Amino acid sequence: MLEAEDLDRLRAIVGPERLSTGESELELHSRDESHHPPSRPEAVVWPRSAEEISAILKLANSRKIPVTPWAGGTSLEGNPIPVRGGLVLDMRLMDRVLWIRPEDLQVRVEAGLDFVRLNERLERYGLFFPPDPGAVATIGGMVANDAKGIRAMKYGSTGDHVLGLEVVLPTGEIVELGSRAWRSSSGYDLKRLFIGSEGTLAVITEVTLGLSGLPAEFLAAVVSFASLAEAARAVAELVGAGLVPAALEFMDEETVALINKFNKLGLPERPTLFLEFQGSSRAALEDDLQLVRQICAGAHRLETGLGREERDRLWEARHLIHDTIRKAFPKVAGIVVDVAVPLSRYPELVEYAKWALQEHGLKGYLFGHAGLGGLHAELLYHPGEGDELDRAEAANAAIVHRALELGGTATGEHGVGLGKRRFMEREHGPSLELMRKIKALLDPNGIMNPGKVL
Amino acid sequence: MLEAEDLDRLRAIVGPERLSTGESELELHSRDESHHPPSRPEAVVWPRSAEEISAILKLANSRKIPVTPWAGGTSLEGNPIPVRGGLVLDMRLMDRVLWIRPEDLQVRVEAGLDFVRLNERLERYGLFFPPDPGAVATIGGMVANDAKGIRAMKYGSTGDHVLGLEVVLPTGEIVELGSRAWRSSSGYDLKRLFIGSEGTLAVITEVTLGLSGLPAEFLAAVVSFASLAEAARAVAELVGAGLVPAALEFMDEETVALINKFNKLGLPERPTLFLEFQGSSRAALEDDLQLVRQICAGAHRLETGLGREERDRLWEARHLIHDTIRKAFPKVAGIVVDVAVPLSRYPELVEYAKWALQEHGLKGYLFGHAGLGGLHAELLYHPGEGDELDRAEAANAAIVHRALELGGTATGEHGVGLGKRRFMEREHGPSLELMRKIKALLDPNGIMNPGKVL
């Protein structure tokens, strides 16, 4: 519990205008975009520097006050919901670009900057930060979750772009990790301990990112298949053939029908793959597309040569699947399944997910970053009505267990948060104990985002 | 000190034929390929399974016996030299390919397999494991060092290919990390803690690797420059232009002269860049090469369109630089500098290294994986004669400090071992203390490869 004295001391650190205990702010910081029940913090603080965060954490650590870093609030597993109350550190005032070194393909940013604004700033240099999780996430949140999104197949995850990190440990110590070298073998790679740690080990305050050149050329294709199985098999064949598309996305026929309706796309309402190839050479992309045509020769329809406008509309529609479902069913909530398996098992996973929906009598949509074996299923339920939520939870658990049986992971990109904790023992076995020891080492009082991941 | 009773217990674990205290074996396990002074272990054991290693570590941990895992012995910073004696675990009997799943682009191997033999096994599937450090290193050694080599620019480091690891902790616990999914956000990425830990935290026993398709096409180019500065500047320009060669190697004129002489290459004896582009599309590679021609228009000579044989000879010569120096100067030893900096600072680094050679009155050769900002300098000295070794050490330290000032790292790929420990405080600052805490957490008795890294 935060005492009045704690609040006074916090106000002394950040000034009274950057601390709130108001109902509306507590409410805004009680929920992310997931189905997990909201839980309010006792106060929200908006720090402006690592030094302020250091002072806050020293106080919180000595008083054993829970501290949950808050980024864009766009997560899908309850990752930043302050389930034990305490303090939320809203990072969004720390949104500066600290430097851009185009000649090194590097940028240094504060953690609260969102990636869309970062990419706007980078465009004039012909550079970009490729990970794109869809929602307008902050760089800090993306690092904390090792966010991936549609372009990870070609460009890697958020963590793969992190050259350096500044973090504030629960003791208040400010630590710099990594360097500006693109590769290093210098000691333990501690950066990677914090990447994907979901705010349970430290607060990420600054990030040095390695960038990519904006591709000069792109080619997109849409392939519609007669059956789910054929679409899923094509994924494994395309990747097995050595193709590295910038994006390779799967959608089932219900998802295509939905985005057709809301975006007037006129796609055949069949299991579908969206592909995009990016590079500096048009000829190379044409070669890639030729290989796609060969592999997908038996598909229901194969459309290539999309113009930029048509391609942008497709990707926007893909990005907005989650929002479109919300719009289509305003009284309905959804659990977003997020698993990944080795590619050869992708057909089994997709068919199992489809079966699980039917088996549990649920309406749902299947889609995902197929090129990395990723599958999402958005399982709909009417909150408070009957046992629909229980059935959706059961279907989610069944799909996760199937993914683990197939050699995969309980969470491809959304993180563990609240929703995937119950699968950690099954996925990690004895190494979970090692994670617990590391948590206890870095955060002995358990103040950092308690109740998450472990 | 190993007691007779310890040896009996070890023999009971592995059988008498897989333990040696013979002079020649102790001598063979006393040195790597570096200039660091040899130090013998008290016994060498050749385990065949994680279970045997578990039993050995339990014994060693209870008796506080130093244990140093031994891989290919090809390291360049004294990484596996058993400076505190004790036991060496020679991993080279654990060299099986456990499975190949070509449809998933994955392979599982025991740690003692070398990457050359692995790639021979993979060739029939059209797949390969790209990292190539030059020497015939084992997969376990490459993971322990996060080895990079000439192809890391396009394909990433060894660690970037690791999907899963089996490790044996000093307690004897056998732990599996990661999964077969290509991407995951499931808890802390503990794999990365062991990748690059140089045997100081655990013994790596099995590795699941993600593979790449063998490129159908390659194009190589050799560019000779009028000056060192021009060659170094071209590196930054080539990478800044968005080119991602499979390899982009730098050599100074002395190095070119040396490999010319021993390999009859007939290259202009000037600062030189070797480039290779790989991919599925010939047209794309031609486009890349066209861009190289534009950027290097002012070069002394630019040779493209090398045939496979000529290209293979070039790469072999590049790989053998270290051995060629040994052959050219049989009575001379060398310190191999290994640093990396952001690309825009590469010209400064190269010129500084050249200056440091002159300043310290040393003969030496400069070369390196320029595309990632990596520079090696092989500094020659006559062992036991005058202060040449001291001067070589001083030049090495000066180059490392300059690399750190330029935002780089003390070791791009050879690891910390013995040679880079003294720079860790300067490079890592407070995060070094965090590394020490993690070491103490995982290896409280300090038995794993003591005296290294930290």
Q: What is the CATH number of the domain that holds A137?
A: 3.30.465.10
- B-contacting residues of A 62-91, CB under 8 Å? none
Partners of residue A373 in chain B, C-beta under 8 Å? 181-183
- B-contacting residues of A 114-153, CB under 8 Å? 126, 145-148, 152
- With a cut of 90, say whether residue B384 has pLDDT above it: no
Chain length of chain B = 454
Give the closest residue to A376 by CA, choosing from A413, A407, A429.
A413
A-B C-beta contacts closer than 8 Å:
272
- Indicate whether B450 belongs to any domain: no
Are A146 and A104 part of one and the same domain? Answer: yes
Q: How far is B337 from chain A (nearest CA, A)?
A: 13
**Is the Cβ pair B409, A184 closer than 8 Å?**
yes
**Is the Cβ pair B434, A175 closer than 8 Å?**
yes
| Segment B61-83, tens digit of pLDDT | 999 999 999 999 999 999 999 99
- With a cut of 90, say whether residue A341 has pLDDT above it: yes
Q: How many CB atoms lie within 10 A of CB B383?
A: 10
Radius of gyration for the alpha carbons in chain B, expressed in angstroms and rounded: 22
- Indicate whether B452 belongs to any domain: no
Only one residue has tokens 């975009």, namely A33
CA-to-CA dists, residue A201 to A92, A435, A452, B103, B443, angstroms: 19, 11, 11, 37, 21
**Is the Cβ pair A186, B148 closer than 8 Å?**
no
- With a cut of 90, say whether residue B89 has pLDDT above it: yes
Are A241 and A169 part of one and the same domain? Answer: no
Distance CA A149, CA A119 (A): 15
Distance CA B440, CA B40 (A): 25
If one counts the domains in chain B, the total is 4
- Indicate whether B442 belongs to any domain: no
**Is the Cβ pair A288, B280 closer than 8 Å?**
yes
Are B282 and B341 part of one and the same domain? Answer: no
- With a cut of 90, say whether residue B99 has pLDDT above it: yes
Residue A106 confidence (pLDDT): 97
- Indicate whether B454 belongs to any domain: no
Residue B246 confidence (pLDDT): 94
Give the closest residue to A318 by CA, choosing from A373, A267, A245, A382.
A267
Q: How many CB atoms lie within 10 A of CB B436?
A: 14
Residue A306 confidence (pLDDT): 83
Are B228 and B306 part of one and the same domain? Answer: yes
Are A105 and A162 part of one and the same domain? Answer: yes
Are B335 and B399 part of one and the same domain? Answer: yes
Band (A160; pLDDT cuts 50, 70, 90):
very high
Q: How far is B157 from chain A (nearest CA, A)?
A: 8
- With a cut of 90, say whether residue A304 has pLDDT above it: no
- Indicate whether B449 belongs to any domain: no
Residue A88 confidence (pLDDT): 98
CA-to-CA dists, residue B284 to A238, B102, B445, angstroms: 19, 26, 55
Are B8 and B109 part of one and the same domain? Answer: no
SS3 string, chain A, reads CCCHHHHHHHHHHHCHHHEECCHHHHHHCCCCCCCCCCCCCCEEECCCCHHHHHHHHHHHHHHCCCEEEECCCCCCCCCCCCCCCCEEEEHHHCCCEEEEEHHHCEEEEECCCEHHHHHHHHHCCCEECCCECCCCCEHHHHHHHCCCECCHHHHCCCHHHEEEEEEECCCCCEEEEECCCCCCCCCCCCHHHHCCCCCCCCEEEEEEEECEECCCEEEEEEEECCCHHHHHHHHHHHHHCCCCCCEEEEECHHHHHHHHHHHCCCCCCCCEEEEEEEECCHHHHHHHHHHHHHHCCCCCEEEECCCHHHHHHHHHHHHCHHHHHHHHCCCCEEEEEEEECCHHHHHHHHHHHHHHHHHCCCCEEEEECHHHCEEEEEEEECCCCCCHHHHHHHHHHHHHHHHHHCCCECCCCCCCCCCCHHHHHHHHCCHHHHHHHHHHHHCCCCCECCCCCC
Are A67 and A137 part of one and the same domain? Answer: no
Phi, psi (rounded to 5 degrees) for B290: -60, -40
| Segment B158-201, tens digit of pLDDT | 999 999 999 999 999 999 999 999 999 999 999 999 999 999 99
Tokens, residue B423:
């720079």
| Segment A406-418, tens digit of pLDDT | 999 999 999 999 9
- Indicate whether A320 belongs to any domain: no
Are B307 and B391 part of one and the same domain? Answer: no
The domain boundary residue, chosen from B44, B63, B92: B92
Q: What is the CATH number of the domain that holds A57?
A: 3.30.43.10
| Segment A342-352, tens digit of pLDDT | 999 999 999 99
Handedness of CA B385, B390, B394, B396 (dihedral sign): positive
- The whole-number average pLDDT for the span A286-303 is 93
Are the CB atoms for A134 and A399 separated by under 8 Å? no
Domain range spanning residue B228? 217-317
- Indicate whether A439 belongs to any domain: no
Distance of CA B148 to the CA centre of its chain: 6
CA-to-CA dists, residue B124 to A242, B111, B115, B272, angstroms: 15, 22, 15, 35
Partners of residue B241 in chain A, C-beta under 8 Å? 213
**Is the Cβ pair A189, B196 closer than 8 Å?**
yes
CA-to-CA dists, residue A276 to A247, A341, B53, angstroms: 5, 21, 47
**Is the Cβ pair A181, B409 closer than 8 Å?**
yes
Tokens, residue B45:
């054991």
| Segment A218-257, tens digit of pLDDT | 999 999 999 999 999 999 889 888 888 999 999 999 999 9
> pTM of the prediction?
0.96
Strands B333-340 and B374-381: antiparallel
Residue B385 confidence (pLDDT): 84
Handedness of CA A348, A349, A351, A356 (dihedral sign): positive
Are the CB atoms for A137 and A71 separated by under 8 Å? yes
Are A222 and A189 part of one and the same domain? Answer: no
Q: What is the CATH number of the domain that holds A225?
A: 3.30.70.3450
Give the closest residue to B211 by CA, choosing from A186, A205, A343, A234.
A343
CA-to-CA dists, residue B269 to A123, B147, B231, B250, angstroms: 41, 30, 13, 13
User: What residues pair up with A251 in beta bridges, in sequence order?
Assistant: A272, A367
**Is the Cβ pair A416, B374 closer than 8 Å?**
no
- Indicate whether B447 belongs to any domain: no
B420 touches chain A (CB under 8 A): yes
Nearest by CB to A182, from B187, B340, B435: name it.
B340
- With a cut of 90, say whether residue B53 has pLDDT above it: yes
- With a cut of 90, say whether residue B287 has pLDDT above it: no
Residue B280 confidence (pLDDT): 78
Tokens, residue B378:
């092989």
- The whole-number average pLDDT for the span B38-67 is 98
Distance of CA A323 to the CA centre of its chain: 15
The domain boundary residue, chosen from A92, A117, A147: A92
CA dihedral B8, B9, B13, B19 (to 10 degrees): -40
Longest dimension (CA), chain A: 70
A425 touches chain B (CB under 8 A): no
- A-contacting residues of B 351-410, CB under 8 Å? 372-374, 403, 407-410
Only one residue has tokens 């799943």, namely B101
The domain boundary residue, chosen from B317, B346, B375: B317
- Worst-scoring range by mean pLDDT, A203-212, A323-332, B371-380? A323-332
Q: What is the CATH number of the domain that holds B307?
A: 3.30.70.2190
Output A327 or A283, whichever has higher pLDDT. Answer: A327
Give the closest residue to B247 by CA, choosing from B141, B318, B337, B300.
B318
Distance CA B320, CA A174 (A): 44
Q: How far is B227 from chain A (nearest CA, A)?
A: 21
Distance CA A443, CA A453 (A): 14
- The whole-number average pLDDT for the span B276-287 is 86
Are A146 and A209 part of one and the same domain? Answer: yes
Distance CA A49, CA A53 (A): 6
**Is the Cβ pair A428, B186 closer than 8 Å?**
yes
Nearest by CB to A183, from B340, B432, B442: name it.
B340
- With a cut of 90, say whether residue A6 has pLDDT above it: yes
B453 touches chain A (CB under 8 A): yes
Residue A307 confidence (pLDDT): 82
Which residues, including other chains, have CB under 8 Å from residue B17's CB and lie 6 or more apart?
none
Are B107 and B70 part of one and the same domain? Answer: no
Q: What is the CATH number of the domain that holds A376?
A: 3.30.70.2740
Are the CB atoms for B95 and B49 separated by under 8 Å? no
Edge-to-edge strands, sheet with B174-178: B97-101, B106-110, B203-210, B162-168, B174-178
Tokens, residue A120:
């706007």
Band (B85; pLDDT cuts 50, 70, 90):
very high
